[in-house]
Chain A
Amino acid sequence: MSAGILVLVEHLKGAVADITFEMLGAARQLAQASQAPVHAVLVGKDVAGLAAQLGAADAVIVVEDAAAELPSTELVLAVLRQLLEQKQAGLVLLGGTNVSFGLGVRLAARAKLPFVNFCKGLRWDNRALVCTSQLFGGKILSDVRLPDGRGVISIYPGSFPADAGKSDKTPPVERLAAPAVQSKVVFRQLLEPAAGDVDITKQRVLVGVGRGIQSRDHVQLAEELAAALGGAVCASRPVIDQGWLPLSRQVGKSGLTVKPRVYLALGISGAPEHWEGMQNSECIIAINTDPRAPIFDGAHFGVVGDVLELLPLLTEKVKARKT
Chain B
Amino acid sequence: MSARPLTILGIETSCDETAAAVVRGHPDGVREILSDLVLSQFDAHRPYGGVVPEIAARAHIMSLDGMIAAAIDQAGCGWQGLDGVAATAGPGLIGGVMVGLVTGKAIAAARNIPLIGVNHLEGHALSMRLVQPVAFPYLLLLVSGGHCQLLEVRGVGDYARLGGSLDDAAGEAFDKTAKLLGLGFPGGPAVELAAKGGNAARFALPRPMLGRAGCDFSFSGLKTAVRHMAAALPEMKDQDRADMAASFQAAVADVLVDRCRHAMAQFRDGHGALPEPVLVVAGGVAANQMLRGALAALCAQQGFTLAAPQLRLCTDNAAMIGWAGIERLALGLSDPLDISARARWPLDR
Partners in one complex: no
